[in-house]
Amino acid sequence: MALVTFTHAGDVGVVTIDNPPLNLLTRELLAGLDQAVESVANAPVRAVLVRAAGRHFGAGADAGDVFDGVRSDQARPMLTRWMATLHLLETLPVPVVAQVQGMCVGGALEIALHCDLIVAAQSANFGHLEANLGTVTLLGGAQRIAERAGPARAREFVYTAALYDATTCREWGIVNRVVADEDLADAAMGLARCIAAGPTKSHGATKRLIRAYLEGGTAAADSLLPELASIYDTADMQHAVAVILEHGARDLAELTSFVGR
């Protein structure tokens, strides 16, 4: 059975990790993730949901498979390939929602951090435990915690190798929403479907602007704006402008129906 699958739920593409019982990251799983993300990139979807089967989103890496006996000359090409996969996930032209339950630590957390939004179950726990193994966050976790929570909290998060509950992670800006465990699947899919019903090209432009800001500051994001003038030609913007001219702005959200083009 495939450890990672890609399916469609209407306009939402669904990537499911399924490596029971703990969804440990292995070379096979990461290869499957690469194939799934490639499929997403070539699919006509307007949002993506990344989820994991079972009780846990992921309890980190399978040390015997990923670390044991691996030397630096072998690790370099592996990490380069895996980071390319996660970069593709992070830069998909549509919003990506992570649905997180149970343990979400190490590499599993790094997968979630490459998503735009994280919806977590109340009982979820997050952590970077790499310091316990004498290693570093090898798939971009430390810097993405810093993006969301600031450098001081990122240092604490990684240095202590502690577990943090979902509410704390929401307060720190790492997690977007926390919901009751029994509501997680509906809440995460509901958010993905809500986003998928929106102006897809606009959302893609917003992703580019925020990424440009994170990488180069306000000036870098501002420099993109002339290029994003192409948004004027989209069917969704033209439709919304026609609605506001005919009906005004008060009921704009109720009267617009976006097609993603």
CATH number at residue 40: 3.90.226.10
Judgement on whether residues 154 and 61 belong to the same structural domain of the protein: yes
Range 82-107 average pLDDT: 96
What pLDDT sits at residue 215? 92
Closest Cα to residue 11, out of 35, 47, 55?
47
Q: Whole-angstrom Cα distance, residue 166 to residue 125?
A: 6
Look at residue 62 in the predicted model and tell me its pLDDT.
83
pLDDT of residue 75 exceeding 90, the answer is: no
Average pLDDT, integer, range 66-71: 78
Q: In terms of residue numbers, what domain contains 242? A: 200-255
Residues 179 and 213 both lie in one domain: no
- The domain boundary, picked from 155, 170, 196, lies at 196
Encode pLDDT of 102-149 as tens digits: 999 999 999 999 999 999 999 999 999 999 989 899 999 999 999 999
> Stretch 3-16: mean pLDDT, rounded?
96
For residue 5, the model assigns a pLDDT of 96
Domain total in the chain: 2
The tokens describing 228, both together, are 């994003």
Closest to 167 in 3D by CA, of 128, 130, 126: 126
For residue 167, the SS3 value is helix
Identify the three-state secondary structure at position 123.
coil
Q: Which two tokens stand for residue 163?
A: 């577990």
| Structural domain includes residue 261 | no
List Cβ neighbours of 169 (8 Å cut-off, separation of 6 or more): 118, 120, 126, 175
Answer whether residue 241 shows pLDDT above 90.
no
Numbers of helices and strands, H then E, in the chain = 11, 10
Does residue 260 lie in a domain region?
Answer: no
Mind listing the pLDDT tens digit for each residue in 163-199? Answer: 999 999 999 999 999 999 999 999 999 999 999 999 9
Which residues is 100 bridged to in the sheet?
120
- Chain segment 22-59, per-residue pLDDT in tens: 999 999 999 999 999 999 999 999 999 999 999 999 99
Q: Are residues 71 and 114 in the same domain?
A: yes
Q: Does the structure show a pLDDT above 90 at 65?
A: no
Of 61-70, 81-90, 140-149, 199-208, minimum mean pLDDT range? 61-70
pTM of the model: 0.94
